[in-house]
Homo-oligomer: A and B are copies of this chain.
Amino acid sequence: MQTLTVDLGVRSYPIFIGQGLLQQNLLLPYVKGRQVMVVSNETVAPLYLDTLLQQFPGKQVDSVILPDGEAYKDLQHVNLIFDALLEKRHNRTTTLVALGGGVVGDMTGFAAASYQRGVNFIQVPTTLLSQVDSSVGGKTGVNHPLGKNMIGAFHQPQAVLAATDVLGSLPERELSAGLAEVIKYGLIHDAKFLDWLESAMPALRARDPEALAYAIYRSCEIKAEIVAQDERESGIRALLNLGHTFGHAIETDQGYGNWLHGEAVGAGMLMAANLSAREGWIGEAELTRVERLLIAAGLPVAPPETMSCERFIELMAVDKKVIDGNLRLVLLQQLGQGVVTADFAANKLEQTLICGQSLGRIG
């Protein structure tokens, strides 16, 4: 087992990474009160809920099962968590435990931030995407019909438990979606990690435990380093949104849940790389390298055919990164170095948006 500490002063917390961690009673020290509410979904609960419920001897342990999918990540379904907490009379010393992917984590985190104006929570992410992304950094929230993640809070967990063996049951598509975020860390922050990913991609897709553990560790480490510098996302943290402005537009257009978040981010990262190449910051060879890595990870490399340039602009205009009317994007100054900037030509953005299947070249 490896342990990584996210350094946020009094809000610091550990991430445990390794095999078989669900059975090791690691979480009990992070439960302060006498009540625990485990939140899971219909897919994950049958696999791991019983095991997790055993980990809190001496506590009042309750659970609530949500429907599975981004389509249910809304205020109405967060209210099911509040219902369960109040029906079981959980008080403000309770601890919520999120057992599931990013959707369960985001909803549980927001419920924890809001229940009685804030209670503790623990993350037990069961997808690669949530292990490397949504379990680190304290962002919680739900979607609104007019925009993704528009309602939420910053709320840090007490601990995160990333058990690599649970990835064995993950569908192929979700593994690829998680790899999109892993690739993102390489693209924005670490060219060497990107090199390693190119060689390790076959092992990762074959779910080699050691390769996965390293990918998770290094991804969390990069994210933790960035979050520690900028907990409330006023600056450098926005780098973590590489591909997300484009990706959110795709998800909104297609309806939440039809494209997986990681798939949309994968296509979005290639769009960001394409625009970066048009600005001359990276070369066409590097752009092609990004495309090949995404393909190797099993990710889409083009937005939906039905999405026009106008539709992208319309949806990107409500993005959180719109600062007083200026669209800011995360682009690549080089491979391994992201930059948040509004300094790109509008016509080059339009050229990127109409690329369709040809994002891997600019000629």
| Residues of A participating in the B interface, judged by any CB pair closer than 8 Å | 33-34, 75, 79, 82-83, 86-87, 89, 91-93, 113-118, 139-141, 144, 146-147, 150-154, 232-233, 317-318, 320, 322-325
Shortest Cβ gap from A183 to chain B (Å): 25
Shortest Cβ gap from A121 to chain B (Å): 15
Q: Are B114 and A317 in contact (CB under 8 A)?
A: no
> Who on chain B is nearest to A116 by CB?
B320
Q: Are A153 and B118 in contact (CB under 8 A)?
A: yes
Q: List 16 A-B contacts (CB under 8 A).
A: A34-B325, A75-B75, A79-B144, A82-B150, A86-B146, A86-B150, A86-B318, A89-B318, A89-B322, A91-B322, A92-B323, A114-B153, A116-B150, A116-B320, A117-B152, A118-B154
Q: Are A117 and B154 in contact (CB under 8 A)?
A: yes
Distance, CA A150 to CA B114, complexed state (A): 8
Instruction: Give which listed residue, B34, B79, B91, B152, contacts A114 with CB less than 8 A.
Output: B152
> Who on chain B is nearest to A322 by CB?
B91
Q: Are A324 and B153 in contact (CB under 8 A)?
A: no
Q: Are B139 and A117 in contact (CB under 8 A)?
A: yes
Distance, CA A34 to CA B113, complexed state (A): 28
Q: Are B152 and A323 in contact (CB under 8 A)?
A: no
Contacting residues, chain B, for A322 (C-beta < 8 A): 89, 91
Q: Are B147 and A323 in contact (CB under 8 A)?
A: no
Q: Are A114 and B114 in contact (CB under 8 A)?
A: yes
Instruction: Give which listed residue, B87, B152, B317, contacts A89 with CB less than 8 A.
Output: B317
Q: Are A144 and B317 in contact (CB under 8 A)?
A: no
Contacting residues, chain B, for A318 (C-beta < 8 A): 86, 89
Contacting residues, chain B, for A93 (C-beta < 8 A): 323-324
Distance, CA A345 to CA B325, complexed state (A): 62
Instruction: Give which listed residue, B113, B144, B151, B324, contacts A91 with CB less than 8 A.
Output: B324
Contacting residues, chain B, for A154 (C-beta < 8 A): 117-118
Q: Are A151 and B114 in contact (CB under 8 A)?
A: yes
With A82-B144, A86-B150 given, name 17 new contacts (CB 8 A): A34-B325, A82-B150, A82-B151, A83-B144, A86-B147, A89-B317, A89-B322, A91-B324, A114-B114, A115-B150, A115-B151, A116-B150, A117-B139, A117-B140, A117-B153, A117-B233, A153-B153
Contacting residues, chain B, for A151 (C-beta < 8 A): 82, 114-115
Distance, CA A91 to CA B151, complexed state (A): 12
Distance, CA A33 to CA B324, complexed state (A): 7
Q: Are A34 and B115 in contact (CB under 8 A)?
A: no
Given contacts A116-B150, A150-B116, contact A320 B91 (CB under 8 A): yes
Q: Are B34 and A86 in contact (CB under 8 A)?
A: no
Contacting residues, chain B, for A320 (C-beta < 8 A): 91-92, 116
Most buried by B among A33, A115, A139: A115
Distance, CA A107 to CA B317, complexed state (A): 26
Shortest Cβ gap from A207 to chain B (Å): 34
Shortest Cβ gap from A117 to chain B (Å): 5
Distance, CA A194 to CA B161, complexed state (A): 54
Q: Are B324 and A34 in contact (CB under 8 A)?
A: yes
Q: Are B144 and A86 in contact (CB under 8 A)?
A: yes
Shortest Cβ gap from A76 to chain B (Å): 8
Q: Are B91 and A323 in contact (CB under 8 A)?
A: yes
Q: Are A83 and B146 in contact (CB under 8 A)?
A: yes
Most buried by B among A79, A151, A232, A322: A151
Contacting residues, chain B, for A152 (C-beta < 8 A): 114, 116-117
Contacting residues, chain B, for A34 (C-beta < 8 A): 324-325
